[in-house]
Structure 1
Amino acid sequence: MAHVNLLPWREKQRQHQKQQYLAGLVAVAAIVGLIFWFIGQAIDQQINNQNSRNQYLEREIAVLDAQIGEIKKVKERKSAVEQRMALIEQLQANRNVAPIVFDELAKLVPQGVAFESMTRTNNIIRIEGISDSNNRLSDFMRALDNSKVFMGAELSTIKSDSSAARAISNFTLTFSINPNVAPLEIVSSEAQ
């Protein structure tokens, strides 16, 4: 009689295939898990590298900010020194202006013209005075215009005063000092 195997061989074969399938599935899952773990480690390493680069840049930026602050302070000090120097130069240039102005006025004022008050604002001079003749006042204005020290003589007001024994006129006259004699003043925030 032929030998017949009555053992459930198909069942064992299925069991064996199932075990191989599960073993392959576990191996694939382990490999995929390892791949994801390596990818995660690589990403973490890149993040750490980028963070260290960022910290280095932040430190360097802080150093540069400090240097910029120092540069600003130096520039402010330089500007203050330059303003002081300009003011000193201006004072040096203007130190002889008053004597020159008074000397020139003494030469130009004709007889019969007298000053009651004189004010100077920057390079503008305003004179209030009296004159015994309009012709003498006109001569004075012409002399101011022809002067190398003064320019732009302008008569603001003239009033005749008939109450006095002699006829006199009160006048207000403004004119400028030539910039060649007295350079225009530099307005300094330090000087004010």
Structure 2
Amino acid sequence: MSINTIPTVNLLPYHEARKAARRKKVYAMLGGAAGAGALVVLLGGLYIDSRVDAVTGLNQVLSTENSRLDLQIREVNTLRKDIDGLLQRQKAIEGLQNERNRPVQLLEELVRQVPEGVYLTTLKQAGDAFTVTGIAQSNERVSELLRNLSQVSWLDKAELVESKAVMMTNNLREQRRLFDFSMRFSYRAPEVPDDGKKGRAGAASGAAAQGARAGKG
């Protein structure tokens, strides 16, 4: 009686080959992942380098612009100081010009405002304050002069200091009763009105002064 024998198959090489294939696949995946990681790191490094270069360039541009602006600011400050100096010198010159013209302006105004029967003898100035003395035919003429001076826009605080009756002798050796007076006032810078208003105000003031003189005459 014969017994069938089952042939023996050695599967060890198959398993080894399968393990080797798996290891190769794993190594390949690891290599791919490492390559991809290296590529990402490389690209990230290139991007960061490009951004750093861009920021560095921008900082250089900003630094250059800041230096240029600082120079312009210094130039503007220098020009501003020069302009301020010129304005101050111009103001000083205008002040000197006004100071020089003020006595002439005041004398012209006094000629317009002094009523008939009033004769001024002295005019003194102390800064912005003025004192005038004179002789008047009556106290009414002194009061009229005071009112006229009070209406001048660039004169302020007109007030009578003293008015006293005196006896004087004229060229005909006649005794006349006159009034020796003194009054003071101060200078005030006039406001600059519009041209139309200025013209109308000047005409009205001139008409009023003429009317007052005519009434007193």
TM (norm. structure 2) is 0.56
Instruction: Select the residue among 126, 130, 142 that pairs with 1:137.
Output: 142
The residue that corresponds to 1:92 in the other structure is: 97
* Match runs of 1:100-179 below 5 Å: 100-102=105-107, 105=110, 108=114, 110-111=118-119, 118-121=125-128, 125-127=129-131, 133-142=138-147, 144=149, 155-156=158-159, 172-174=183-185, 179=190
Larger proportion of helix: 2
2:89 maps to 1:78? no
The residue that corresponds to 1:187 in the other structure is: none
Displacement after TM superposition at 1:59 (Å): 1.3
Which residue is equivalent to 1:5?
A: 9
Structure 2 letter corresponding to 1:174: F
Residue type of the alignment partner of 2:24: Q
- Corresponding pairs, count: 173
Preserved contact between residue 158 and residue 171 of structure 1 (Cα < 8 Å): yes
More off after superposition, 22-31 vs 89-98: 89-98
1:77, CA displacement in angstroms? Answer: 0.4
- AA at the equivalent of 1:31: A
Q: What is the DSSP-based 3-state SS (H/G/I as helix, E as strand, rest coil) of the residue aligned with 1:95? A: helix
TM-score relative to the length of structure 1: 0.62
**Structure 1 unaligned spans of 5+:** 181-192
Change in CA separation of 1:99 and 1:82 when aligned onto 2, cut-off 3 Å: same
Structure 2 regions of 5+ residues with no counterpart? Answer: 168-176, 192-217
Assess if the C-alpha contact under 8 Å between 2:122 and 2:134 holds in 1: yes
**Residues 78-117 of structure 1, C-alpha deviations (whole Å, 9 max, x = no match):** 2321332343244335523314434664783824x76696
- Secondary structure (helix, strand or coil) at the match of 2:131 reads strand
Question: 1:56 maps to what in 2?
Answer: 61
Bigger radius of gyration, 1 or 2? 2
Q: Which has the higher contact order (CA 8 A, sep 6+)?
A: 1
Describe the shift of the 1:151–1:84 C-alpha distance in structure 2 as closer, same or farther (beyond 3 A): closer
1:60, 1:167 → 2: CA distance?
83
